[in-house]
Amino acid sequence: MGNKCKVTALLGLIILFSACKENSKESTPIVKAEPPVVKEVKEVHEFGFNLNDYVVKRDTIKSGDSFGHILGRNHIGYSTIHNIVEKVKSTFDITSLQIGKPYTLLCAKDSLQTPECFIYQPNLEDYVVVDFKDSIQAYTEQKPISYIEKSATGVINSSISETLEEQGLSPRLAFKLADEIYAWTIDFRRLQKGDRFKVIYTDKYIDDTIYTGVHNIKAAYFEHNSEPFYAFEFETDSDKGIVDYFNEEAKNLRRAFLKAPVQFSRISSRYNLKRRIAVYGYKVRPHRGTDFAAPIGTPIMATANGSVTKSERRGGNGNYVKIRHNATYETQYLHMSKRKVKVGQYVKQGDVIGWVGMTGNTGGPHVCYRFWVNGKQVDPFKQKLPQAQSISDSLKVKYLEYIKPIKEQLDDIPFELKPELIEEPKGETVRQNEHLIS
């Protein structure tokens, strides 16, 4: 009897243990192993290459750097460098590398990180590729450029520059309005409080991220002393790329010459045939030019369309450029730090021809601007300068049709803009400025 009790108890324990084990199985969730997460590597493209395929090294040209030195310190042998230079010399001048300009090396993902491509950027837009991975080649390309059309408007309280500055807009707009478009119709030094303006312009971007400034003004409206002044950009010579500004009646707003060859400068010395200088014992030393003081490196612009007849360095003139505009007019620009144009080159009004410097006889950074009429040097501010080229009869009809929708667009812009996007009928997005003075 006792043994039966023991067996029964043992069986009970076994059944209880089994039940607990089953319950344990049921209560413990089965965790399935998740597949490993594979992160998608985003491709980075620049200069026409997938940068993920390379070890990318970026730097700038430093004093003492040369094409050979850069490749040499990155494990490229002399014979290979010589071979590369010989193969690309017809398309890329390796001596043209300038201090401070950026370059990029695309290197193999090996233990030495051996360079396979050299990319040099002489400016923000252009880049030169020297590719020597498989075969050796050199070529020049340009980064993607986009233009965004925008609108701005404002009411003058003191000056056009201050009005634009308060809105966070480029001072280039003020210069273009005052010195290029309305220079001969509105005196911007005598603006009245309450004068107002509207402008449609284009901003330029490189790679959609690098802002390079105002590209052009498409149209403008300026109300000065309650009198309206319209201005519309129009190309009159597609072969030479000549663009002028005309009013709603197709009359040219500009003179053939800009008032000054540099922006935002001051006149430090005027044309004066009776000038006396203390350093020369107060003897009469005629000054046959007009000096515009500006910091070294300030761009110097051609004041009118023409052909370069001189581009050299000589004596007291230092680096200088001379331009013949037609049979009557010539201009000259002295004391440049560096010249940009060559003899025989055709330049348009506003083109940069060099940069302000102190070469030749000069006591400070400036450009001496000289002006000839029929071979005689004269004071440009005392000349009755001609109008810019008028629009031809054949183009006038085309022009009036062209400006119709632009004038409507300009007229529809309210003087109090809100930070929003306007959708044009063409579907082109026009971005308004966000901070405008009412």
| Domain co-membership, 374 together with 270 | yes
- Name which residue leads in pLDDT, 282 or 215: 215
Find, among 160, 194, 190, 349, the residue nearest to 264 by Cα. Answer: 160
Residue 422 pLDDT:
36
| Domain co-membership, 237 together with 327 | no
CATH number reported for the structural domain that contains residue 337 in this entry: 2.70.70.10
CATH number reported for the structural domain that contains residue 419 in this entry: 3.10.450.350
Name the one residue in this structure whose structure tokens are 């070529």. Answer: 139
What average pLDDT does the segment 305-318 reach?
Answer: 94
Listing DSSP states for 324-356 in one string gives E-SSSEEEEEEEEEEE---TT-EE-TT-EEEEE
Measured CA to CA, the distance from residue 433 to residue 224 in angstroms comes to 22
Give per-residue pLDDT as tens, 228-281. 999 999 988 777 777 889 999 999 887 778 888 998 678 888 877 766 565 455
How is residue 261 written in tokens?
A: 């060859």
| Domain co-membership, 172 together with 315 | no
Say if 398 falls within a structural domain.
Answer: yes
What average pLDDT does the segment 191-220 reach?
Answer: 90
What average pLDDT does the segment 304-311 reach?
Answer: 93
pLDDT at 428 over 80: no
Find, among 232, 245, 289, the residue nearest to 405 by Cα. Answer: 232
CA 263 to chain centre: 16
Listing DSSP states for 15-37 in one string gives HHHHHHHHHHHHHSPPPPPPPPP
Say if 30 falls within a structural domain.
Answer: no
Say if 135 falls within a structural domain.
Answer: yes
Burial string for 135-162 (b: 16+ CB within 10 Å, else e) reads: eeebeeeebeeeebbbbbbbbbeeebbe
**Residue 391 near residue 399 (C-beta atoms within 8 A):** yes
Measured CA to CA, the distance from residue 174 to residue 167 in angstroms comes to 12
**Residue 171 near residue 162 (C-beta atoms within 8 A):** no
pLDDT at 351 over 80: yes
Name the one residue in this structure whose structure tokens are 């004066």. Answer: 272
| Domain co-membership, 250 together with 273 | no
Say if 41 falls within a structural domain.
Answer: no
Residue 267 pLDDT:
85
What average pLDDT does the segment 126-144 reach?
Answer: 93
pLDDT confidence bin for 339, thresholds 50/70/90:
very high
- Name which residue leads in pLDDT, 186 or 106: 106
| Domain co-membership, 168 together with 225 | yes
Measured CA to CA, the distance from residue 252 to residue 341 in angstroms comes to 28
Residue 426 pLDDT:
36
| Domain co-membership, 366 together with 322 | yes
Judged by average pLDDT, the poorest of 77-86, 165-174, 338-347 is 165-174
pLDDT confidence bin for 399, thresholds 50/70/90:
very high
pLDDT at 323 over 70: yes
pLDDT at 374 over 70: yes
Judged by average pLDDT, the poorest of 13-22, 117-126, 195-204, 228-237 is 13-22
- Point out the domain boundary residue: 112, 142, 172: 142
Burial string for 249-265 (b: 16+ CB within 10 Å, else e) reads: ebebbbbbbbebbbbeb
| Domain co-membership, 378 together with 276 | yes
**Residue 216 near residue 181 (C-beta atoms within 8 A):** no
**Residue 388 near residue 255 (C-beta atoms within 8 A):** yes
Alpha-carbon torsion angle 252, 257, 261, 264, nearest 10: -40
Residue 324 pLDDT:
95
pLDDT confidence bin for 61, thresholds 50/70/90:
very high
Residue 5 pLDDT:
54
pLDDT confidence bin for 363, thresholds 50/70/90:
confident
Say if 4 falls within a structural domain.
Answer: no
What average pLDDT does the segment 77-101 reach?
Answer: 92
pLDDT confidence bin for 356, thresholds 50/70/90:
very high
Say if 68 falls within a structural domain.
Answer: yes
Q: Which residues pair with 229 in a beta bridge?
A: 222
What average pLDDT does the segment 273-292 reach?
Answer: 70
Residue 287 pLDDT:
81
| Domain co-membership, 272 together with 338 | yes
Judged by average pLDDT, the poorest of 8-17, 233-242, 248-257, 315-324 is 8-17
pLDDT at 177 over 60: yes
How many CB atoms neighbour CB 209 within 10 A?
Answer: 7
How is residue 59 written in tokens?
A: 């730097």
Say if 157 falls within a structural domain.
Answer: yes
Residue 438 pLDDT:
24
- Name which residue leads in pLDDT, 412 or 393: 412
pLDDT at 196 over 50: yes
Measured CA to CA, the distance from residue 260 to residue 104 in angstroms comes to 39
pLDDT at 433 over 50: no
- Point out the domain boundary residue: 142, 157, 187: 142
pLDDT confidence bin for 9, thresholds 50/70/90:
low
Judged by average pLDDT, the poorest of 203-217, 286-300, 340-354, 406-420 is 406-420
- Point out the domain boundary residue: 83, 113, 142: 142
| Domain co-membership, 172 together with 238 | yes
Q: Which residues pair with 306 in a beta bridge?
A: 347
Domain housing 186:
146-254+389-432
Measured CA to CA, the distance from residue 308 to residue 300 in angstroms comes to 14
**Residue 283 near residue 274 (C-beta atoms within 8 A):** no
Give percent of the chain with pLDDT exceeding 90: 50
Amino acid identity at 385: L
First to last CA, the chain: 110
Say if 91 falls within a structural domain.
Answer: yes
Name the one residue in this structure whose structure tokens are 């083109």. Answer: 351
Judged by average pLDDT, the poorest of 105-109, 253-257, 399-403 is 253-257
Residue 272 pLDDT:
79
Measured CA to CA, the distance from residue 300 to residue 367 in angstroms comes to 8
DSSP summary character for residue 41: P
| Domain co-membership, 308 together with 395 | no
| Domain co-membership, 182 together with 200 | yes
pLDDT at 19 over 60: no
DSSP summary character for residue 181: I
Angle at 30 between CA 27 and CA 31, to 5 degrees: 135
How is residue 252 written in tokens?
A: 């040219």
How many domains does the structure of the chain reveal? 3
| Domain co-membership, 373 together with 283 | yes
